[in-house]
């Protein structure tokens, strides 16, 4: 078997070298990079320089989503010649495994974000043995009340360098930005508390939605100006050859009986059944119930599944047939979506290899990329970050939509990324006159807001002549 050829630092693109220099030159900074631009190798190259050239850091803590912490960072080390000397320990798994990993000598320690609180408690007031922090998917720290944020906030002063990496810094609006920027500069640019940030840049309209804040006139530009020195953004389409992409909305229509049930739920927040009602106790719950109904089934008050229609299953069957054997990746939202898809098309097993297979394990991902899976299903949150699935297929079907722009864009980017050889087709199953249409509009509007932020901190790179 021929030896694997390693890439070298000279193989980095100009935009990647720009980002490496940016990280080295800014003790606290964020890179807002589209999927496929190589944020992992950028961060590792900068870390290597800081470790061995300038000797500014000695041990680095990397916080990442679980699968990214387990697979992506260690895999990147194996691809590049200039990173071969870096030792990495994965602080994941059972507690005894995490403790053992921390006790072994290495330059890099990568931990999944769910264990950040545990890590801080593990050192019980002692100083953490790291002087640099890298937060992969910084946007997952957008909740200032979350335990992971509170834990990191407590130890921020122990790091001389902090780097944040993400593609969608404000997926639901600029309110999401404060916690992320705080982890970089401890409140220097946008205020020391979330309350201060809101008071400085937002108004609270006198409506029945007290949590809905609106930007003050000129506030958007002020925010961009304040963070512009430590944040830089790049769009994949500006720097690499992206595959073609086609977005397709498949409009579906309910029957009169099905629409009557949907409207009753929308109006009364209740669908009565003899042995368990479908009930919504508030507006947020109602929105979720209506999305479930649009998908074709809904949980009742006892968590039993009430099937209403098969419109999306029929449409999915048509799309799979039209794919003519090409692999299809289906994004689902609720467990009853998964169960009904598996019931319709058959559940994968060694005896039924052509059945629906859920992408959960590393082996599942390998088999998908090897073209061994005809129908794959996954929740966007499970495959939303850091996984390369572009070799296994080029067709996505959104069976159920969700409100998160971040999950939507990251999930699509599993296939629509550098290395994809075919045109990517993204189908959205949308039931007319339902919450599906509102979600599609919301995603479009959020994308517009996100693009404004990214444009404001866009990198201006002088290409080498």
Q: Following DSSP, what letter does each residue of 188-216 receive, concatenated?
A: TTT-SSHHHHHHHHEE--SSS-TT--EEP
Same domain, yes or no: 410 and 275: no
pLDDT band for position 386 (50/70/90)?
low
Tell whether 167 is covered by a domain. yes
The answer to whether residue 174 sits within a structural domain is: yes
Rg (Cα) of the chain, in Å, rounded? Answer: 23
What is the residue range of 300's domain?
260-308
DSSP 129: S
Residue 37's closest CA among 9, 12, 61?
12
Mean pLDDT of 335-359: 91
Last residue of a domain, one of 240, 274, 297: 240
Angle at 331 between CA 38 and CA 448, to 5 degrees: 60
User: pLDDT (tens digit, 9 = 90+) per residue, 413-422?
Assistant: 888 887 788 8
Are residues 114 and 61 located together in one domain of the fold? yes
List of residues 6+ apart from 285 with CB closer than 8 A: none
Claim to verify: residue 93 and residue 58 sit in the same structural domain: yes
Check whether residue 271 and residue 387 sit in a common domain: no
pLDDT digits (tens, 9 = 90+) for 232-273: 998 877 777 788 888 999 999 999 999 999 999 999 998 888
Q: How far is CA 239 from CA 194, 330, 333, in A?
A: 35, 29, 33
Is the residue at 93 inside a domain? yes
Verify that 246 and 267 share a domain, yes or no: no
Phi, psi of 349, deg, nearest 5? -160, 165
* pLDDT score at 310: 96
E-state strands within 141-296: 161-166, 202-203, 214-215, 231-234, 245-252, 270-271, 278-279
What is the tens place of the pLDDT at every residue in 446-458? 887 788 888 888 8
Count of domains for the chain:
3
User: What mean pLDDT is predicted for residues 88-116?
Assistant: 97
**Final residue in a domain of this structure, among 240, 274, 293:** 240
Averaged pLDDT for residues 285-313: 93
CATH code of residue 426:
3.40.50.300
Model pLDDT for residues 121-154, shown as the tens digit of each residue: 999 879 999 999 999 989 889 999 999 999 999 9
Name the percent of the chain lying above pLDDT 90. 61
462 assigned to some structural domain: no
Rounded CA separation 361/152 (Å): 29
């Amino acid at each position: 078997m021929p030896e694997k050829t390693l890439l070298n630092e000279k193989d980095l693109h100009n935009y990647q070298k720009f980002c490496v220099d940016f990280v080295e030159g800014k003790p606290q900074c964020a890179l807002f990079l589209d999927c496929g631009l190589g944020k992992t190798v950028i961060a590792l190259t900068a870390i290597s320089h800081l470790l061995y050239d300038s000797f500014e850091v000695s041990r680095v803590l990397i916080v990442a989503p679980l699968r990214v912490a387990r697979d992506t960072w260690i895999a990147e080390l194996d691809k590049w010649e200039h990173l071969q000397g870096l030792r990495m320990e994965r602080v994941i798994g059972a507690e005894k495994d995490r403790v053992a990993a921390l006790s072994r000598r290495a330059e890099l320690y990568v931990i999944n974000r769910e264990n950040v609180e545990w890590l801080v408690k593990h050192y019980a007031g002692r100083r953490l043995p790291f002087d640099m922090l890298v937060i992969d998917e910084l946007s997952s720290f957008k909740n200032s009340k979350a335990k992971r944020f509170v834990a990191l906030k407590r130890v921020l002063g122990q790091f001389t360098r902090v780097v944040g990496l993400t593609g969608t810094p404000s997926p639901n609006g600029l309110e999401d930005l404060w916690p992320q920027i705080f982890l970089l500069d401890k409140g220097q640019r946008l205020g020391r508390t979330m309350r201060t940030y809101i008071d400085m840049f937002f108004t609270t309209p006198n409506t029945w939605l007290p949590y809905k804040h609106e930007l003050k006139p000129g506030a958007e530009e002020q925010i961009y100006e304040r963070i512009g020195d430590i944040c830089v953004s790049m769009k994949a389409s500006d720097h690499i050859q992206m595959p073609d992409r086609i977005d397709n909305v498949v409009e579906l229509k309910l029957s009169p009986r099905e629409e009557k049930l949907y409207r009753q739920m929308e109006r009364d927040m209740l669908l009565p059944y003899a042995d368990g009602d479908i009930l919504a106790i508030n507006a947020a719950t109602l929105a979720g119930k209506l999305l479930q109904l649009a998908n074709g089934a809904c949980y009742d008050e006892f968590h039993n599944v009430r099937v209403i229609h098969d419109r999306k299953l029929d449409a999915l069957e048509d799309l799979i047939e039209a794919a003519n054997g090409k692999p299809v990746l289906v994004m689902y939202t609720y467990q009853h979506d998964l169960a009904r898809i598996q019931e319709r098309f058959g559940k994968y097993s060694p005896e039924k290899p052509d059945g629906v297979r859920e992408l959960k394990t590393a082996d599942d991902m390998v088999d998908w990329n090897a073209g061994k899976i005809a129908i794959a299903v996954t929740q966007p949150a499970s495959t939303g970050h850091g996984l390369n699935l572009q070799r296994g297929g080029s067709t996505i079907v959104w069976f159920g939509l969700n409100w998160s722009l971040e999950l939507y864009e990251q999930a699509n980017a599993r296939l629509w990324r550098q290395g994809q050889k075919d045109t990517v087709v993204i189908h959205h199953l949308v039931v007319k006159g339902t919450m599906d249409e509102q979600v599609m509009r919301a995603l479009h509007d959020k994308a517009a807001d996100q693009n404004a932020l990214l444009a404001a901190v866009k990198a201006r790179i002088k290409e080498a002549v």
